[in-house]
A and B are shown apart, each in its own frame.
Chain A
């Protein structure tokens, strides 16, 4: 998932090289800081214990900020933007935040820019407890799919300021995981009225005019690839890193389906996907877990359907800008350590995401909650969201089952391809067809 709730703002950085942008933004940030001090001397905006947290709105909960303030005295100042905007900010304005929550697949672009630094594993208390999904790409000893930008490929750096990923574990971690999950197709079981077991159903003419796909090229093409492979049209060596020929084939198949009227609409933000599904305009589509919950909370049946070919996974984590130092740097490490210590993990697990350190989160969850969310057992009591709203009645079972079953069935990860520019151009061709 790369949860965007707003349209990209279409900002253009204008006629400057990266270097001048960096310099410019440094001057600007400095100016903004002094302005803040002069303008509002009472506000703690310039205090070292304020962390500007750049990320998408999904992970930025007011409850977490409140709890951090209570436990550590650190003020979290959220800077909520879209997934694309996170990447853009790190590259063009690396001084505009103190800590960033970014997706792992963006690292292929972020690390070569040199604007982030490796995080010192020695300062992360629970570094060795981080789930093996990230460190070795295994769940319970079983190797999981690693097509695309699997976190284990980009988890370690060769040195703190290195621009190269290390192939074996080092002391320097690129991102400390915050949330991750496995995505699949969402369906309306009441309108389909038969079991759905394969990704190929997305292109099944039976659902002509009632299917939808994600219009975020890098993710949409992966969903398409899952469907194409499932339909037996082509077997990809790596769905997350296609060759030009494979991109051509994928787009050609999509264009044929589009011309035959397969798709009702495409969507690019969370709310659009909820509207399409809830109004019955579509009955099968790419979807994100919280969107399925949102449809269900309207009293409309919607299933996040586990499929035989497996899931397309995503993960995001905390990174630090290279320029962070002194008190702020210490505060950032304190915050990350707090985040892994359980309260936040339990909070995220209750939303249907997964947390980086499972053992600590378990301590903060009721046994029946743990059994429902993580072990795939029927709920012994009603299941409530962190805000107290009712999610599931007693007896319900989570779509896709336990953590091990779900994460164990990952087929590929959100990715940035080597042929990304070409892929984006071909995707535009698909939209224009």
Chain B
């Protein structure tokens, strides 16, 4: 009896972690392992056969070496995805940081903070797709923006780059995902001891110096977490790029979706693995810059 009790108390932490570990194992690790396994299988239009072949990977990188210096489809797709990733990250960071800064340091009362914070969530009250589609009457060839520009005499022709372009995709991404940046940064900022800011002020630091030397270093974990949110979402996104880019802009997610709809599961799995590896590399890079565990 004693021994059993001892056993349980020694392994208590494991038992406590077990439910989560099981859920994680079944619904995350197992499918992931299956995806990795299938990426080496062979396929026809109507079946997939266990095998160990590298053709799915070589197909994904078809012509990548031979067509240099021109970029192959995969490289070009990743380059375009990385461009949106970087652009969205930078813009959401600047806007998100500013909004969080304002909420944390300039809004005095808790009630007001809650009210304004809730205001930030308003875009999330409707679905993602509806939020994107509502840009179309605004930015389209005959949309409000073009009508305004034409009537003010700023332009003489409707501006076509407003919609179905890199611009519109970036705009939609920033609109959709800035909030994911605001929340963790705001959270970090609220934990900053106000005395530190006063001390910096007393020591004669200017506003910018306080920002750069006190606030930014202390909000690094928030920035990193927000960055991970934004980067992982944008890397895998194909709906936003599809709708706002008029389906003319490639994305890794769309390639995978097309392959799945043509029942080319192993090829899709291979592309998913490649995507996963590239996202992991980015995240490893980010966590190298900031040790989130230590900072939390």
Contacts and interface: CB of A to CB of B under 8 A. Distances in A.
Nearest to B129: A7
Nearest to A276: B246
Interface stretch (A8-16, A68-76, A167-175): A8-16
A109 B142 contact: no
Given A7-B239, A109-B45, A432-B77, A87 B38 contact: no
A17 B48 CA distance: 6
A91 B265 CA distance: 12
Interface stretch (A51-59, A262-270, A288-296): A262-270
B261 A266 contact: no
Interface string B136-158: 11001110000000000000000
B80 A432 contact: yes
B248 interface: yes
Given A15-B34, A113-B46, A425-B62, A420 B248 contact: no
Given A280-B141, A424-B264, A8 B246 contact: no
B247 A12 contact: no
Most interface-central of B34, B137, B256 (chain A CB within 10 A): B34
Contacts of A11: 260
B interface, size bucket: 35 or more
B295 interface: no
Contact of B250 (A13, A281, A432): A432
B262 A215 contact: no
A14 B31 contact: yes
B191 to A, nearest CB: 38
B45 A420 contact: yes
Interface string B225-249: 0000000000000010010001111
Most interface-central of B50, B263, B269 (chain A CB within 10 A): B263
Contacts of B48: 13, 17-18
A188 to B, nearest CB: 12
Contact of B259 (A265, A424, A429): A424
Contacts of B45: 108-109, 112, 416, 420-421
A428 interface: yes
B287 interface: no
A14 B38 contact: yes
Nearest to B37: A15
Interface string B106-150: 000000000000000000000000000100110011100000000
B35 interface: yes
A265 B247 contact: yes
Contacts of B47: 17-18, 91, 113
Contacts of B163: 281
A10 B257 contact: yes
A431 B255 CA distance: 9
A209 B160 contact: yes
A85 B263 CA distance: 9
A258 interface: yes
B247 A268 contact: yes
Contacts of A275: 133, 136
Contact of B35 (A8, A15, A429): A15
Interface string B45-62: 111111000000001001
Closest 9 CB pairs of A and B: A265-B246, A15-B34, A432-B250, A266-B247, A84-B261, A14-B34, A113-B46, A109-B45, A429-B73
Interface of B: 31, 33-35, 37-38, 44-50, 59, 62, 73, 76-77, 80, 133, 136-137, 140-142, 160, 163-164, 239, 242, 246-250, 254-265, 267-269, 272
15 contacts: A14-B38, A15-B38, A88-B263, A108-B45, A217-B262, A264-B160, A265-B248, A268-B242, A279-B142, A281-B164, A421-B264, A424-B262, A428-B250, A431-B249, A433-B76
